[in-house]
Every structure is written in structure tokens, then in C-alpha cells.
Chains A and B, each alone.
Chain A
């Protein structure tokens, strides 16, 4: 168990070596080296895991102090790592999936000129995530938190010649900063009340927390989690973040980054246990996010955007579970989701490569003929996410929904909303599979007309980024045109190389069987629940067996109905898809746009005149906040006139104010 420091050390070494010698190693070698480092980390995790497994369940906590960082009086942050069931479980799937994604990237990025740079970022990303998970205190977690934020910023903007990419990167970074604010304040609150930020101390102290304090803490950390895990209202960056290379999307959505918020909440379950109504907030935000994101996903045409909104929706499920104290289910769904979402993303990447970097599903069709492995594995992912038993997604989703049903008086409502989401999920995933792998080979149709459709889409996208100058939209149109030049009617898709298909097959295997981790049939089969038991405070009660059975059959029916509707609409053409794909959904309920419009506040008209400068830097939600600040800044700017008289006046006014204050205090 003393080996745990090796877990983050491997990717750090990989990072350093690649920074120094990355160019020297050259094209495939650098990628293989990076993969080997992450694989080493995975192997170490396995060893530690087995070690933990061989100890008594109550003693499965191991802390390793490495060095003391920043002593500040009574307060010290020890740089320590903690191996306990929760952190090691996270490490297992983070390193496992990251390894596969690394291998996949070797194939995916093979033509990129910045090949080694990509792996530098990737290794750093994994190292940060491991630090986040393994840290034995809030501050270390925060460091990892910031680290993954920074890496995602770098990776999303990896192809930064592209304007859309760089603006997405900015959006992601700034949205995360808003969440970070909550996290930071939360840390301080913990430190002030508990007197320590070590998880062990927090856990020991938690029962003494006043309900109000615990609620405040929970909400602050939840604010941090909404930023990182893309929940309402801070989720808008995640779909935009699709601009990055596909393996990055897979890494972010499946194994790292977005799961960090869920991890944090589960890690802090002793606080949540005392937090009262904060849990309801979490549950409702979670279910609302799940529902809203699922509706938006119904009308997306970009293959990756569908998956992105789907991730937001699935994360909503996890927060629903957290909010209903159903932590085991949250972690269970995190793992299964990691498998099938990584699978789906990597599959979509394979498709995108095969289709000359076209991402519009309306130009796909019948690809199963050309890409059998990709199609087969993608279909497994589809069934898993749709919740078809016995694939993994069914088990974890069902556990969340059943748990929600039992959560107080509002439980059935939560359950119903979750069920509607499940229906939508099955529907939009079916739509995606049919549009991509079945039907006609649509790219062979008149390319010119389609190109126009694409351009319209791009213009729409440009519109969405309100405040952006027309130039953005024009650039996007140009961009769309560029892409269409790549996909010609006589294009022959081919299957991807083995470095790309191998991870698909592995992930497909896990997506099928991961349900075994936690089967509800007997206590012994609830392996995950037993494993996590020492970490979690408080009991969560599932409904009785008959109710449970009823709920499960409801869920299965819902999935099948969803799939059938999708089949009817998109394969059999029983209904006009445009009736379902409302433009209000395609444009994400206008949430992104309304943020841009209203968050600017009254200062908006004020800064409109300079919009063509600002929009280079800002667009979207967070950018609205930024613009609001700009507006305020502008209001107070006239004071800075450059005229000494004015300055001296300001000076004098300041002095007079101080004197006025003094007069109130003085005793004459």
C-alpha cells in the first residue's frame, strides 16, 4: 500500500519526460510512452486495490504523508495521499479508461503535427485527476480540481487555430472558475468550523456540525460541483467543449473532469448527511438537469453534441442519487457511465475519422456496412445507455431511480422525472444509432444542397453565441464549407486502425458486464455497496422487493418504448422528425442565448458599441458575467480622465471622507 504515491507519479513522470524529450521520441513512440505510464499507474492501482481487499473492511484506509505544504500558523496542509475504497475505486476506472483512451489517441492523432504535445496534456490531465481523487484533504483535491480545469482548457483549445475551439476553451475555463469560487469559500468555511481540511478530520467532526453550517457547506461545494460536473445552470460550457479532439471529450466525459464533482459530493457525504434541505436542492437540480439536457439532446445533429448533452443528463442522474443519499448508486452509475460513455465517444471519434471529419449525423447513414467493429460496439453502448437489461446501464440507472422513489414525499415525482428522462435517453440514442449506422448513405446525395444546410446550421450556431460579431458566424460558415470539401459523395468510409478499435472492444465488454458490480438480488451481490460501506455515513434504504421489482419493470418498459418510438420515427418514418426536433430544443431551450442576453444586465446597451472587440474574448454565459463587469468598469472609468485636477479632486474627496469618518469617532 506504500506504493500509492506511484499512482500519480507515473503520469507525472510521463509528463516531464515528454516535455523534455517529446519531440525526440517522435510520432508513435511518444504516444506509446505516455500510454505505458498511465498503464503503469493502472497496474499500481490494481496492486493497491488487492492490498486493500486483503485487509479488514473497517481498516481499509491508508494515508501516506509526503510533505508539508504551506505552514501557516496553526494551519498546515500536509501533502498526503489517501487510499480508501472510494479513492481506489475512482483510481481504478480513471486509470483503466485513461489507458484505453491513450492507446486510442495514438491512432486518432496520428496525423496531427502536435502529436507529442497532445500526450503531454493528456498525461498531465490524468495526473491532476489522480491527485484530485487521492488527495487526503480538500486543498489537494482543489489543486487537482484546478489542474483538470487547466488541462481541459488546454485540450479543448488544442486545435486553437479554430476560433470555435478557442472560445469553447475560454467558456469552459471561466465557467469552472465560477464553480471554483464556491469551492474555495467552502474550503474556508470547513477550515474555520472544523479546524482542519483533512477528510478524516471532517468525517470525525461532521456529526457536531450545526445544520445551518452543514447546509451552507454543502451548497458551496455543490456550486463547485455544478461548475465542474456541468449541472444547471453552469452546464453550457460542456456541449461547447466538444470542439476539442474526440479522445479528450471521451476522457473528460467518462473518466475525469466531469465526474470530479460527483466524487467530491460523495467524498463529503458526512457533511451532506447533516445538510438538511441542501440535499433536496442537489436532487432537484440533478433531476432538472437530467431532463432538460435529455430534451436538448433529442434535436442535436452533431454526433458529439448529442453525446455531450447526454453526459450532462447522466450526470444529472448521479446528482439525483447524491441528493437522495444514494451514494453507492451514484458511484455505480459513474462507473458504468464511464464505460459506455467512453465507448460511445470513442466510437463517434472512429466514425468522424472514417467520415473525413464530418460531424453532422444528417450526412451519415448505413455505416455499419463499412465500419463493422465501430458499429457493433457503438450499438452495445447504445443499449447500455438506453437501459436495456442485462447491460450495465440498466442496473445502475434502475438503482438511482428506485432510490429516488423512496426518498421522502417528493420521491415519486423525482422518480417520474427520472423515468421521463430515461425515455428520452432511449429515444435520442436510438435516433443517433439509426441516423449513423442504418438507413441511406446520405453523404452520397447532392452535396451542394447539404452544404447549404450545414451553413445554415453554422449560422445558427453563430447566432447562439450572442454578442459575437457577424465575423464569427461567417468564419463558422467558412469552416463548415471546409469540412464539406472533405466529405465528397464518392467517399468510401473505412474501419479505423486496431489502436482505435481495440479500446472499443474492451470498453464494449465492460459496458455489458459492469452491472455485476452491484446486483440487487442479495446482500452479497451488492459488491460495490459493501466495498464502499466504510466510507459512507448513514444508511440508505431501497424500496421493498415487490416495489423494486415493479419499478424495474417500469424502467425496462420505458427503455423499450423509447427505443421503439425512435425506431418508428427514424427507421419506419411513421412521423415527421422535424415535429420532434423542435428548434427550441435544437437551440438548447435558448438557455445559452438568454444567458448572453440577460446576464449582461442593464450595462448591455452600454458595451454594445465595443462588442466587436469584446466578442473576440467573450461570448455565452460566463462571458455575460464578464461583460457585466466590463459595464460596471466603464461606468467608473470617467473618473480616470488623465487630468491631474480630477485626480487631486478624487484625492481630496477621499481625504474628506476619511475625515468625516474620524469626526464620528472622535471625542472632543
Chain B
């Protein structure tokens, strides 16, 4: 790994008439710029055209923009491979394998969600460009978070990400639960942002910088005699970031918000936003404080991981609403990824990255199916609505079963490998208790996924007096966009389980090239 040394020039206040402005390598910011400009342009174009654009145009535009951002990662990746990781804009933003990988995950999540959203909006009669604009802007916030090398930039990214998400959650104007979701998300989100900001302030107070590399350097060079402020900063930042990734006990919002939000948006939240949150988590704790203060923050994250694994799985079991089940299961998944964080090794980080990628496919796909089955009004989410689905809509049921089995961790799906790598990383650090808890959680969760599958395939008509036809009136066709998205997601879920080498090696490479201080 390369050491990135920042020239430590104090910013002059009045002595020098010319203020030094940072040099900006615009091409290295391509993903950020593409997403932001794509969002703004879409808004402007569509508002100027005023209703003349066909309804699929917004989705197509979003897919193209996110695809372009995804494509721009390739030259940047090879640039990182050749020249090593680098910082941009006076050290505020880092360009390294890690940021590119997370950016990729976010773009994938945007593409899939946009494809799912298109049919959803037509069905719900809510067509408009705003959804896509907000999603692109939120994604750009996520990308900023992923590449932030400065706590302030991290916070700005988080806010861009979140503010758009608050609105997205409440965009289904006819469903009261959607407004409720948006409001809850906003209030608790603001609450958590305050914690994060307070934590950043304390960290700044303790180390004298908000720049992550400089903080790292400072902590390597200096032994803090009084570390109380720094540790309190850790605690507050864990609260703030723990909220974003929906880790127990900061998870309370997640079930309500995932359940209330428009279903494809729930998918985006569970994949894209979670990925960005974990990027922040890893960047701050593993990379910056991993070498010097791991003993201090690891137990906290450990506790979060254990609680998330167990509470998420247990709570998911007792739900009767499939959307809510998925919300709780996403908390359990967050617990798994937190394992990768808490071991604080390269292995753990690359396992977390792989997990996030696999999870992006599984969860957007799952919510995609749920959105289609939810029918008009997006309300049919109870377990009973899935009865006999294997007969009435065999294709959808099969796809859903694949996603559920993958989430349960059945071998030859990406879900198995992602769990395996994470547990593997824990075992390599001799965290056996954690590994066992993770497996217990996986077993409990398997029961939950099985429950849905059972009701799809085995709960026949005869035990309820309700024929499957009554529970599921004749189905409409799956919209083309959704079909493409589900196809991609299923393919990727299986592909990552069968030939994971390419992706795992990319994840390993990504972790090997990090913007970090090397003393």
C-alpha cells in the first residue's frame, strides 16, 4: 500500500490575497459527476418537455446514467491499479479500490431499483421523474460517502443520501403508511445525524483534524494521554453510522420504514443505502482507527453485530407481513456484515464487500417480487397473500424461492458464500463465539425463509377454504423492466455462488488498495 502524505499547509486567513484553491482531477470524479449531472439533467429536461416524455423514459435514463457511472469505474480501476490509491481535492476525497467497489454496488442497486420502479409506478399511477432524480441524487450521496476521506465530506455525503431517501420513502402519496415511513425516517435520521456530527466534532477535538489520513497519522505518531474525548467520539459515530446500516439497537426505524415505503424503494434502501453506510463504517473504523484503537471500538461493533444477528432473526420469525420479514432479515444481514467490520482485517473487509454486493442482488430482487405481488395499492404483503403462489404464478414463485434460499445461505448461491467468507474472516481472527452466533442466526433465519417458501408451495387450498385463485386473482403480466431486473438479479445471485473467483479477487484487490497512512 502506498502512503499518502498530505502537504500540511495552513490555510492563510488574510495575509495572502490569493486563496489557494485545490486542484481537481475531474476525470477521477466521473462517477460522482455522472450521477449528479444525470439527476439534475433529467429533472430539467423532463420539466422542460412537460409530459411529452414517455413514462419509460425516466427509468431508461436512470439506467443509462447509472450504467455510465458503472462503466466509468473501469478506467478508474485500472488507474488505481497502476498508480495506486490517491486523494483528490486536497485530500478530501479518496480514490481507491474500496470506493470504486462500493460505488459499483450502489450503481447496481440503482439500476435494478429503477427497472423495478418503472412498472411499479405505472401500476400505482404515480409516474414522474422525481423518483428517479431523487434516487440518482441519493446514490451520488452514497458515492460521496464511499469515497470520503474526510469526516465532513462523509457527513455531507450521508446527508445528500439521506435527505433524498426521506422523500423517496414518503413518495407514495396515496398510502398513509408511506408518509408515516418518510416522517419516521426523517425524525430518527435527523436524530442520528446529530449523533454522528457530535462524534465527528469530538474526534476533531481529540485529533485536531477531520481528514481521515491525517487523523490516522496523528494517532500513529502520538499517544493520547487522555483519550476520553476520542472514545466518546467513537461511540457517537457508531450510533450515527449504526443507524444508517440498521444495526440493533439503532434499527427501530427499519421495519416501519421498509414496510411503509414503496416496495422498490425499500429494495434500494436495503441495498444501496446500506452499502454506503457500511462504506462509511469501514472507512472510519477499520481503515482509520483499525491499527491504533481497534481494541477500543471493536467491542462496541461486536455487540452491535451480535444483537443484530439475533434480534433480526428472531424478530423476523414472528412477522406475518412478508415485507416486514424482509426488513428484519435485512437487520440480521447487517449483523453478518458487521462481523466483517468488527474483525477489522483485510479479509473481513473484503468479505463485507462481497456480502454487500451479493446482498444488493438478493434484496432488490426479493423486494422486486414482493412489489409485484403487492398488487395495486402495494398492500398485499401478508403471508396469506403468498399462499399457493407456486401454482398461480410459478415463475415469480420460483424466482422468489431462489432469492429466499440464497438469503438463507443455501450452497451454490451467492448467499452461502457471502456468509461463508464473513464467518471465515471471523474464524481467522479466532472469533469463534461470533462465528457460532452467526451460524445460529443463519439457522433461525433459514426457518423464516422456509416459512415463506412453504406458504408459496405447500399451503394448498384445502386447509383454508380459500382457493388459491381467490387469494390470488388472475395475475397480470410482469412488467418488462421488472422482468429484466429480476432476471439479472437471479442470474447474479446464482453466478456469484458458482463462480465467485472473479468477484472475490476484485474484492480482495479493492481492499489491498486503500487510501491510508502507512507509518
A residues contacting B by CB (< 8 A) are 68-73, 75, 142-143, 146, 150, 157, 160-163, 166, 169-170, 173-174, 177-178, 180-181, 184-185, 188, 191-192, 471-472, 475, 613, 616-617, 626, 629-630, 632-634, 636-637, 639-640, 642, 644, 646-648, 650-651, 653-655, 658-659, 661-663, 665-668
Given contacts A143-B411, A665-B296, contact A651 B317 (CB under 8 A): no
Q: Which of B51-59, B146-154, B416-424, B487-495 contacts A (4 or more CB under 8 A)?
A: B416-424
Q: A185-B439, A661-B300 are in contact. Are A655 and B450 (CB under 8 A)?
A: no
Most buried by A among B256, B423, B455: B256
Instruction: Tell whether, in the assembled complex, residue B228 and residue A667 are in contact, meaning their CB atoms are under 8 Å apart.
Output: yes
What are the 4 A-B residue pairs with the smallest beta carbon separation, nearest first? Answer: A166-B458, A647-B252, A654-B249, A633-B318
Contact of B428 among A70, A73, A180, A472 (CB under 8 A): A73
Query: Is there contact, CB below 8 Å, between B504 and A658?
Result: no
In the complex where A150-B410, A629-B444 touch, is A662 in contact with B235 (Cβ < 8 A)? yes
Residues A161 and B462 in contact in the complex (CB < 8 Å), given A177-B446, A636-B315, A640-B252: yes
What is the minimal beta-carbon distance from A497 to any residue of chain B, in angstroms? 30
Q: How many angstroms from the CA of A212 to the CA of B226 in the assembled complex?
A: 45
Q: Which of A71, A170, A616, A639 has the most CB of B within 10 A?
A: A616
Q: A71-B501, A71-B504, A644-B187 are in contact. Are A654 and B450 (CB under 8 A)?
A: no
A617 with B192, Cβ < 8 A, contacts A646-B252, A667-B226 known: no
Of A70, A161, A659, most B-chain CB atoms within 10 Å: A70
Task: Please indicate the chain A residues that have their CB under 8 angstroms from the CB of B243 in the complex.
Answer: 651
When chains A and B are docked, how far (Å) is the Cα of A69 from the Cα of B412?
Answer: 10
Asked if residues B226 and A160 are in contact (CB atoms below 8 Å), the reply is no
Report if B227 contacts A (CB, 8 A): yes
Complex interface: chain B residues within 8 A of A648 (CB)? 187-188, 191
Q: How far is the CA of A661 from the CA of B318 in the complex (A)?
A: 31
- A residues less than 8 Å from B300 (CB atoms): 658, 661-662
State how many angstroms separate the Cβ of A618 from the closest Cβ of chain B.
Answer: 9
Q: Which one, B228, B446, B451, contacts A668 given CB within 8 A?
A: B228
Q: How far is the CA of A69 from the CA of B501 in the complex (A)?
A: 7
- Give chain B residues whose Cβ lies under 8 Å from the Cβ of A617: 451, 454-455
Inter-chain contact B232/A659, CB cutoff 8 Å = yes
**21 A-B pairs, CB-CB below 8 angstroms?**
A69-B498, A69-B500, A70-B501, A70-B504, A146-B410, A146-B411, A178-B443, A181-B440, A185-B439, A472-B463, A629-B444, A640-B315, A644-B188, A646-B252, A651-B191, A661-B299, A662-B235, A663-B228, A665-B296, A667-B224, A667-B226
CB distance from B251 to the nearest CB of A (A): 9
B residues 434-466 near A (Cβ < 8 Å) are 435-436, 439-440, 443-444, 446-447, 450-451, 454-455, 457-460, 462-463
Among the listed B231, B424, B460, which residue makes an inter-chain contact with A665, where contact means beta carbons less than 8 Å apart?
B231
- Which residue on chain B has the smallest CB distance to residue A639? B252
- With a cutoff of 8 Å between Cβ atoms, the chain B residues found around residue A667 in the complex are 224-228
Docked CA distance A178–B450 (Å): 14
Quick one: which of B296, B417, B435, B462 contacts A163, CB cutoff 8 A?
A: B462
**Closest chain B residue to A613, Cβ basis:** B320
Q: Let me know if A188 and B423 touch, CB within 8 A.
A: yes
**Closest CB of chain B to A624's CB: distance in Å?**
12
Q: Is the CB of A637 within 8 A of B315?
A: yes
A142, A188, A626, A655: the one contacting B411 at CB < 8 Å is A142
Is B311's beta carbon under 8 Å from chain A? yes
Q: Inside 8 A of A177's CB, which chain B residues have their CB?
A: 443, 446-447
Could you tell me the distance between the alpha carbons of A161 and B440 in the complex, rounded to whole angstroms?
32
B234 on the interface (CB 8 Å rule)?
Answer: yes
Q: Which residues of B contact A659 (CB under 8 A)?
A: 232, 235
Question: Is the CB–CB distance between A647 and B501 below 8 Å?
Answer: no
* Residues in A neighbouring B275, C-beta threshold 8 A: none
Residues of chain A within 8 A (CB-CB) of B253 are 647
User: In the complex, which residues of chain B have a beta carbon less than 8 angstroms from the beta carbon of A663?
Assistant: 228
User: Taking CB as reference atom, which chain B residue is nearest A161?
Assistant: B460
In the complex the two chains form, is B424's CB within 8 Å of A75's CB? yes
How far does the alpha carbon of A616 sit from the alpha carbon of B236 in the complex, in Å? 45
| A156 shortest CB reach to chain B, Å | 10
Q: Do B315 and A658 touch (CB < 8 A)? A: no
Q: Which of B202-222 contact A (CB under 8 A)?
A: none
Other CB < 8 Å A-B pairs besides A617-B451, A659-B232, A666-B231, 15 of them? A73-B424, A73-B428, A160-B460, A169-B458, A191-B427, A617-B455, A634-B318, A640-B315, A650-B252, A654-B242, A654-B249, A662-B228, A662-B231, A662-B234, A666-B226
**Cα–Cα distance between A309 and B454 once the two chains are bound (Å):** 26
User: CA–CA, A663 to B462, complex, Å?
Assistant: 60
* Interface set of B (CB-CB < 8 Å, partner A): 184, 187-188, 191-192, 195, 224-228, 231-232, 234-236, 238-239, 242-243, 249-250, 252-253, 255-256, 296, 299-300, 303, 311, 314-315, 317-318, 320, 347, 410-412, 417, 420-421, 423-424, 427-428, 435-436, 439-440, 443-444, 446-447, 450-451, 454-455, 457-460, 462-463, 498, 500-501, 504-505
A68 to B443, alpha carbons, bound, how many Å?
A: 27
> Is the CB–CB distance between B191 and A173 below 8 Å?
no
Taken together as a complex, chains A and B put the C-alpha atoms of A617 and B458 apart, in Å, by: 10
B328 vs chain A, min Cβ distance (A): 9
Out of A73, A191, A637, A653, name the residue touching B249 (CB < 8 Å). A653
**Chain B contacts for A72, CB-based, 8 A:** 347, 420-421, 424, 504
Find chain B residues with CB under 8 A from A634 CB. 318
User: Which residues in B have their C-beta under 8 angstroms from that of A173?
Assistant: 450
Given A177-B447, A181-B439, A70 contacting B458 (CB threshold 8 A): no
Query: Would A70 and B420 be within 8 Å (CB), given that A150-B410, A636-B314 are in contact?
Result: yes
Say how far B171's CB is from chain A's closest CB, in angstroms: 20
Residues of B within 8 A of A651 (CB): 188, 191-192, 239, 243, 249-250, 252
Whether A654 contacts B250 in the complex (CB less than 8 A), given A73-B347, A667-B228, comes out as yes
User: Nearest Cβ in chain B — how far from A349, in angstroms?
Assistant: 23
A188–B435 CB distance below 8 A: yes
Q: How far is the CA of A157 from the CA of B455 in the complex (A)?
A: 13
Q: Name, among B239, B424, B458, the residue most crowded by chain A CB atoms within 10 Å (CB to CB).
A: B458
Q: What residues of chain B lie closer than 8 Å to A178, measured between beta carbons?
A: 443
Q: Which of A72, A637, A655, A658 has the most CB of B within 10 A?
A: A658
A399 vs B236: C-alpha distance when bound (angstroms): 68
A461 to B224 CA separation, bound complex (whole angstroms): 70
Chain B residues with CB under 8 A of A613: 320
Verify B314–A629 contact, CB threshold 8 A: yes
Q: Which residue of chain A has the shortest Cβ distance to B300 in the bound complex?
A: A658
Given known pairs A161-B462, A166-B460, the reply for A654 and B318 (CB within 8 Å) is no
Q: Contacts of A475 on B, CB cut-off 8 Å? A: 462-463
Report chain A residues within 8 Å CB of B427. 188, 191-192
* Bound CA–CA A659/B238 (angstroms): 11
Residues of A within 8 Å of B423, CB to CB, are 188
Q: How far is the CB of A29 from chain B (nearest CB, A)?
A: 23
A617 to B225, CA, bound (A): 58
Q: How far is the CA of A658 from the CA of B249 in the complex (A)?
A: 11
Chain A minimum-CB-distance residue to B239: A655
**Contacting residues, chain B, for A665 (C-beta < 8 A):** 231, 296
Q: Which of A70, A163, A630 contacts B460 (CB 8 A)?
A: A163
Question: In this complex, what residue of A is CB-closest to B313?
Answer: A629
- List, in ascending order, chain B residues with CB within 8 A of A630's CB: 317-318
Residues of A within 8 A of B252 (CB): 639-640, 646-647, 650-651
B392 → A minimal CB distance (Å):
14
Shortest CB distance A221–B (Å): 15
| Cα–Cα distance between A188 and B454 once the two chains are bound (Å) | 30
In the complex, the chain B residue whose C-beta lies closest to that of A163 is B463
Residues in chain A near residue B411, CB distance under 8 A:
142-143, 146
Are B417 and A70 in touch, CB under 8 angstroms? yes
**Which of A143, A173, A655 has the most chain B CB within a 10 Å cutoff?**
A655
Tell me which residues across on chain B come within 8 A of A662, comparing CB atoms. Answer: 228, 231-232, 234-235, 296, 300
**Interfacial chain B residues near A170, Cβ < 8 Å:** 450, 454, 458
User: Is there an interface contact between A185 and B436, defined as CB atoms closer than 8 Å?
Assistant: yes
